[in-house]
Chains A and B, each alone.
Chain A
Amino acid sequence: MVNYIWVALTVIGLVYAAITGTIDEVNKAVFEGAEQAVVLSIGLISVLVFWLGLMKVAEEAGLLAGLAKLCRPLMSRLFPDIPKQHPAMGYILSNMTANLFGLGNAATPLGIKAMEQMKLLHGSQPTASRSMITFLAINTSSVTLVPTTVIAIRMTYHSESPTEIVGVTLAATLISLISAILIDRYFAHRRMRR
């Protein structure tokens, strides 16, 4: 799937540029896109190092295990193929907590750790397991209690009530979370029938 999308984006762009004469812009975009990606990855080092370091401390202190134990009934339903005591559960939960509070930068390293653990559970295969897909579905619908960045932009442009969108955002994000879980369930069942 990702192979097709990747090629489609590139080829459609190239063909469209050839027809409309925007090849110069596209040439520039190739180098700018690559540079942006590297700058972004390097920029991630600081957050990755800090939060992974802190999470290692939390893990050693038994905090992740505690959090996982607390939410076990709900989690084992969402991720039926992860054993209840597995460290993946702790990472998944701390990733969700970080997302909930809008700490996107802190959430990324935790999400990657969760993925690593789920990959081990899946026999280190290069294919996505059922729990990985569920985890991604939940992540892309991003449940956020406080959309800090948006509120900041609204304040910059002198909104009379910068935070008035918190309620509607939460409602919209909950609807998308529930549908993400349902859509994921549907695809999981379809895979199993095959």
Chain B
Amino acid sequence: MIAFSTLIIPLLIGGILLFATWKRVPTYEMFVEGGKEGIQMAFSIIPFLVGMMVAISIFRASGAMDAITQLLQPVLALVGVPAEVVPLALIRPISGTAALGMTSDLIAQFGPDSFIGRLASTMQGSTDTTFYVLTVYFGAVGIKKMGDAMKVGLLADLVGLIAAIVVVSIVF
């Protein structure tokens, strides 16, 4: 499976270029034209990311994040969720890099083949950073009113986390 996923990028690049050449597309010129949009896009995301990431940094650095985690721990322990994964569950929709850091930390601390290690791995792999996706995708095209997008995303995250806990408990 890993060998397959390392092959996929070269196959994709080679395949597209060869197919386009066969279709007589001016490949290099088109590549440059498409790439120019990328520069503009990256710059247009900056204010959205700065706003969101500063707010999240303040929230975490103040200790409020940890306090909420500690409040929730006793409740979750009742339903068999190890308290150690609670911070990961809370941070997963907010910050991808922070979640990755926590996952590595849990795996280092409890071992990759422990229940907590497997649960953390599954949680990290099965949901995405909702706030990042919302900020970047909507920010880049200037959508200011999100509608129900955030509610739907966060509810789906919650179901995903519960699913991860249930599935890991059943399988291992």
Interface residues of A (CB under 8 A from B): 1-2, 5-6, 9-10, 12-14, 16-17, 20, 22, 25-26, 28-30, 32-34, 36-38, 40-42, 44-45, 47-63, 101-103, 106, 108-109, 111-112, 115-116, 119, 126-128, 132-133, 135-137, 139-142, 144-151, 153-154, 156-169, 171-173, 175-177, 179-180, 183-184, 187-188, 191
B30 at the interface (CB under 8 A from A): yes
Interface of A is mostly: helix
Q: List CB contacts (< 8 Å) of B103-152 with chain A.
A: 103-104, 107-108, 111-113, 117-118, 121-130, 133-134, 136-138, 140-152
Q: Shortest distance in angstroms between A21's beta carbon and chain B's nearest beta carbon?
A: 9
Which residues of B1-43 have CB atoms within 8 Å of chain A's CB atoms? 1-2, 4-5, 8-9, 13, 16-17, 19-20, 23, 25, 27, 30-39, 41-43
Chain B, Cβ-Cβ closest to A66 = B19
B29 to chain A, nearest CB (A): 9
Q: How far is the CB of B20 from chain A (nearest CB, A)?
A: 4
Specify which chain A residues have a CB less than 8 angstroms from the CB of B124 in the assembled complex: 147, 149-150
Which residues B147-161 have CB closer than 8 A to chain A? Answer: 147-153, 155-157, 159-160
**Residues of chain B contacted by A22 (CB below 8 angstroms):** 61-63
29 residue pairs bridging A and B, Cβ less than 8 Å apart? A6-B51, A9-B56, A10-B55, A12-B62, A20-B63, A29-B61, A33-B56, A53-B33, A54-B17, A56-B35, A60-B23, A61-B16, A61-B25, A63-B16, A103-B8, A108-B136, A112-B140, A116-B141, A140-B153, A146-B4, A148-B5, A153-B100, A153-B107, A157-B117, A168-B164, A168-B171, A172-B123, A176-B163, A187-B151
**Looking at the complex, which one of A14, A52, A147, A180 makes contact with B58 (CB distance below 8 Å)?**
A14
Chain B binding site: helix, strand, loop or mixed by DSSP? helix
Taking the closest CB of chain B, its distance from the CB of A167, in whole angstroms, is: 7
A141 touches which of B1, B39, B127 (Cβ 8 Å): B127
